[in-house]
Amino acid sequence: MTLSPPRHYLTLASPATAEIEVKRSRFVCDVGPASSEESARLFVEQVRSRSRDARHHCTAFVLGADGATRRSNDDGEPSGTAGAPMLDVLTGRGLTEVVAVVTRWFGGTLLGTGGLIRAYGDAVSAAVDAGTVVTIERREGLVVTVSGLDGPRVENALRGQPGCAVTSTSWGVSELVLELAVAPGTGESVRGLVGALTAGAGVVADGRGSWVRLTST
């Protein structure tokens, strides 16, 4: 059975950083949004370039709206003690399209397997807590074409319509074209609103769907 693609996912709005110390070892975690494996690896390299004196730069990232692409790297730490717990935090928080890098400066005291797992996981948790989590929702696309006279009134009403986002506007010689991203099930109410405001003259056609940022948590 083919699964339906996800309609929404959680990610980070922007990069965030947090630092913890465990037995004099410093763990600095940088997390941020990543839309592809290439962008995730670029993020890793940017962090690495700022702290080349550190012994380890351990990484984890989750990609795709369904979170299907998952990668982690222990970067010299004992196998399974860094990348895996970092990845567990990201997936446990329900995040995707996200990358994490934990930079470690060794403090002279061995932490043991359990200590490393806790430290790397705690560093990622602290960085995620320092960031802003946003909901991204897949919305249906509509294209609204109205006369220049009706345009400002229709645009203003659509911007205030629940479940409707105006993603672009373009003016022609005598008409306004609005591209919308609407929540599932709200298309008919948008069509009704446009019809009422234009005495039926406005045209509403299907457009391309898009991902829209909704809320912060």
Architecture of the domain whose range is 138-216: 2-Layer Sandwich (3.30)
Look up residue 183 and give its two tokens.
Answer: 């929540």
Q: Closest by alpha carbon to 181, among 153, 212, 215?
A: 212
Lowest mean pLDDT among 6-10, 131-135, 176-180, 199-203: 6-10
Domain boundaries, the chain: 8-131, 138-216
Lowest mean pLDDT among 31-35, 66-70, 107-111, 177-181: 107-111
Concatenating the DSSP letter of every residue in 20-36 gives EEETTEEEEEEEEE-SS
Answer whether residue 213 shows pLDDT above 90: no
Answer whether residue 47 shows pLDDT above 70: yes
Let me know if the fold of 8-131 is the same as that of 138-216.
Answer: no
Band of the pLDDT at 193, cuts 50, 70, 90? Answer: very high
Strands 56-63 and 98-105: antiparallel
CATH 3.30.230.30 fits 8-131, yes or no: yes
Q: Is 185 helix (H, G, I), strand (E, B) or coil?
A: coil
pLDDT, average across residues 146-160: 95
What residue spans of the chain are helical by DSSP H? 37-50, 83-92, 112-130, 151-159, 187-197
